[in-house]
Amino acid sequence: MIEFADVSRIFMVGGQEVPALRNINLHLVAGEYVSIMGPSGSGKSTLLNLIGLLDRPSSGMYRLDGLDVTTLDDEHQAQVRREKIGFVFQFFHLVPRLSAAMNIELPLILAGVPPQERKERVGQLLESYGLADRAGHRPDQLSGGQRQRVAIARATIMRPAVLLADEPTGNLDQTTGKEVMSLLEQLVGQGVALILVTHDPALGQRAARQLQMVDGRIVSDTRNISQA
Ligand SMILES: Nc1ncnc2c1ncn2[C@@H]1O[C@H](COP(=O)(O)OP(=O)(O)OP(=O)(O)O)[C@@H](O)[C@H]1O
Ligand SMILES: [Mg+2]
């Protein structure tokens, strides 16, 4: 599903080259549960942003479902992103002035889904994520766990094939973090591919496949054999 061939990402800062990713070769299949670990600055978020079409490689090729997405123009890339990819971040990235329900509804509006269907789909997700009684609350009127559940609902309302999560529990207490993880893992059970960046080895171990990054390279790629 996701294929990286010799992908590099070099940032230019004040005339200096900062190589964030160096010749990444990677193949992820549909429905896979993968964790990415590694020290700060090793390129985890950069890799996730490239997979999510929020950024472009400096060189190399990225194929998504067989399509070379590196050469698409911005508009076409945005369309692929909306259809196939969901994002969950450490700091939620919700729209502050919009209610929980409106935050979840946004991707449907952008995709041109008619109002009646939007209402039904948002209502279903609010219900299944235990947020029905918080629909009208703004993000600042929600707990951290509730905010992240709104963010997950927003990320999944377009039924993406891939969910990218950059430290989704990094800003939550342990119990709330576990709830959020079990929600994300339920989605894996439903066939969504989950790519999880985490600093927590215990969390990383839960994934069926683990990537380790150091200095812009994938230095290890292992699989759990006995994984429930
Ligand atoms: N927009 C940018 N401009 C310049 N350099 C950048 C940019 N984004 C990232 N970098 C650099 O690229 C490298 C990789 O950064 P990245 O954010 O991918 O690391 P990370 O593994 O996600 O780290 P952390 O665990 O701290 O989130 C770092 O050296 C960083 O300074
Ligand atoms: Mg990061």
Residue 40 falls inside a structural domain = yes
Q: What residue's CA is closest to ligand 1, atom 10?
A: 20
Residue 19 falls inside a structural domain = no
Residue 179 falls inside a structural domain = yes
Q: From the CA of 216, give the closest atom in ligand 1.
A: 14
Pairing mode of beta strands 162-166, 85-89 = parallel
- pLDDT for 228 beyond 70: no
30: left (phi over 0), alpha (psi -120 to 50) or beta: beta
Query: Within 10 Å of residue 195's Cβ, how many Cβ atoms?
Result: 24
Residue 47 falls inside a structural domain = yes
Give how many domains the chain has, as a whole number.
1
CB 158 within 8 A of CB 83: yes
Chain mean position to CA 139: 20
Say yes or no: CB of residue 18 within 6 Å of ligand 1: yes
Average pLDDT, the chain: 94
Residue 20 falls inside a structural domain = no
Q: Please tell me the pTM assigned to this model.
A: 0.92
Q: Distance, CA 46 to ligand 2 centroid (Å)?
A: 7
Position 110 confidence tier, pLDDT thresholds 50, 70, 90: confident
Residue 114 falls inside a structural domain = yes
The CATH code of the domain that includes 89 is 3.40.50.300
CA distance 104 to 135: 10
Q: How many helices (H) and strands (E) does the chain have?
A: 7, 10
Q: From the CA of 12, give the closest atom in ligand 1.
A: 4
The stretch 166-192 carries a mean pLDDT of: 92
Residue 16 falls inside a structural domain = no
Domain that holds residue 160: 30-58+73-227
pLDDT for position 54: 93
Say yes or no: CB of residue 202 within 6 Å of ligand 1: no
Pairing mode of beta strands 59-64, 33-37 = unpaired
- pLDDT for 227 beyond 90: no
